[in-house]
Amino acid sequence: MAATAAQPGPLPPAIRFGSTQTSNLAIPTRTAPAPARLRCHLSHSSDSTPTPTSPALTTSDPDRDPDHESESESEGILRFAFACGGAGAGGRVYSAIALADELHASLPSSRSLILGAPAPSLESSAAAAASYPFAPVPLRCLPGGILAAALHLCRFRPHVLVATGGAPALPACLAALMLRLPFVIQDQDASPAPATRLLAPFARRVFLAFNAPVRLLPKRRCAVYGNPIRMSILKCSASKIEALARFFPRAGLLGEHDAQVVLVLGGAEGSPEINVAVLNVYYEILRSKDRYIIWQTGTETFCEMESLVRGHRRLFLTPFLHELEMAYAASDVVISRAGAMTCTEILATGKPSILIPLPTILDHHQTRNAYIMADIMGAKVITEDELDSSSLTSAVDEIFGDEKLMADMSQKALTAARPNASADIIRHICSLIGSPYPS
């Protein structure tokens, strides 16, 4: 579904929250100072919940305080708010970061705010790492979350809210409805989340990764563009041998095409089931002198795995991969859960994969994702009931033992990838709110 091209021109005229207008929404401006207003505390820290305060304002925004900007400056700055949550799934957070990165790459003067669960949380860490201001939305009760999100939105005055899923997205979208602020949804999975189904009739647009969910949502509000991918992964230009040397400095002695590298991912929090399976087979895999394993265990189980794994010079064990783009560049085969963002990254990097979907995810999202990957690129799918030393070793050996199969899987993945999803989504959102976007 193609986006309507935005027409060049100035940002739309500002309106106030609560106006009956809903189209061409811009930053609300104040014509006269009010004696007292609700203020929101933007913080990178943890437990703070925004509350009404005196006119004094505290903010962690590294840029200037928007309250001190002139009215003309305020009208000329495009503002996006992103609501996401990473509990159990990092894809929702990284989708928001990827979209914010694309927005700022295309429109450097724009500003973004990330709304998410209070720190320590994946979204607060990701926002800090990407240098975006972060606003905590408490999740203990829905009314409190709605109030907090509403106060943050009033303070930041965005043109639009982009919800990429997770627990904070629901109160943020309800707050946007209350404020009559337009919002869009970006759903990453092969089956729409319950919150997406609930909110879709009120969203300006629902951006989807797959065609299948369209039948479950208001069709006129849907646009299928794929999932956003972090720029660091899309723009990684390192060769395989350069990337491999980042993890194994001695690997330069081997030719680039001689090394066979397995990348093990278990999602943002790690997977005990995958960790146990790999623990039982890693030494067997490494019997071949040309094979290497890059293994992300997850932070919670790293110490346990480290104590059980025998050291090996061709094994790289880590709780979390901060340079995931280098891990993809170094690898030949990926063993992973079937989270939507991981599947998207596998397609974009053209990596043959062995997917082990998490069966406890609501609506079996990962199972659907995994079998779609099997259809479009020939990914190997192993259910948790089937997962053992024998099934995992057989899948690895089958892929490495057939160069034609590897090349075919890689080519199909690259053909199915949508590397321009972030740009397409941001362009479409800009057209919805009447803002120009570089051609």
The answer to whether 151 and 16 are in contact (CB under 8 A) is no
Sheet holding 315-318: strands in order across?
Answer: 315-318, 291-296, 260-264, 333-336, 353-355, 380-381
Cβ partners under 8 Å of residue 322, min gap 6: none
The answer to whether 420 and 2 are in contact (CB under 8 A) is no
Measured CA to CA, the distance from residue 124 to residue 44 in angstroms comes to 7
* Amino acid 255: pLDDT: 57
Measured CA to CA, the distance from residue 170 to residue 141 in angstroms comes to 12
Cβ partners under 8 Å of residue 371, min gap 6: 381
Classify the phi-psi angles of 88: left when phi > 0, otherwise alpha if psi is within -120 to 50, otherwise beta. left
* Amino acid 190: pLDDT: 84
Beta bridge mates, 261: 292
* Amino acid 212: pLDDT: 85
Q: How many angstroms separate the Cα of 351 from the Cα of each of 18, 304, 375, 408, 413?
A: 49, 29, 15, 10, 7
Token pair of 92, please?
Answer: 């929702």
Strands 205-208 and 183-187, sheet pairing = parallel
C-alpha distance across the termini of the chain, in Å: 18
The answer to whether 124 and 134 are in contact (CB under 8 A) is yes
Strands (E), 159-290: 160-163, 183-187, 205-208, 222-224, 260-264
Measured CA to CA, the distance from residue 35 to residue 103 in angstroms comes to 35
Pick the CATH number of 79-229+420-433 from 3.20.20.140, 3.40.50.2000, 3.90.1150.10, 3.40.920.10: 3.40.50.2000
> Residue 27 phi/psi, 5° resolution?
-70, 125
Measured CA to CA, the distance from residue 125 to residue 310 in angstroms comes to 31
* Amino acid 267: pLDDT: 72
Pick the CATH number of 233-416 from 3.40.50.2000, 3.40.50.280, 3.10.290.10, 3.30.230.70: 3.40.50.2000
Cβ partners under 8 Å of residue 243, min gap 6: 236, 326, 327, 328, 329, 330
* Amino acid 269: pLDDT: 77
* Amino acid 53: pLDDT: 35
> Residue 362 phi/psi, 5° resolution?
-55, 135
Single-letter code of the amino acid located at 89: A
Cβ partners under 8 Å of residue 427, min gap 6: 3, 5, 6, 437
Single-letter code of the amino acid located at 8: P
Strands (E), 285-408: 291-296, 315-318, 333-336, 353-355, 380-381
Work out the widest C-alpha separation in the chain, in whole angstroms.
74
Collect the ranges in the chain with pLDDT lower than 70.
1-75, 87-89, 252-257, 268, 361-362
Measured CA to CA, the distance from residue 16 to residue 30 in angstroms comes to 8
Q: CA angle 115-425-222, nearest 5°? A: 95
DSSP secondary structure, 335-358, as one string: EE---HHHHHHHHHHT--EEE---
Measured CA to CA, the distance from residue 17 to residue 153 in angstroms comes to 10
Token pair of 243, please?
Answer: 């990337």
Measured CA to CA, the distance from residue 16 to residue 83 in angstroms comes to 21
Domain span(s) for CATH 3.40.50.2000 in the chain: 79-229+420-433, 233-416
Q: Which pTM value belongs to this model?
A: 0.80
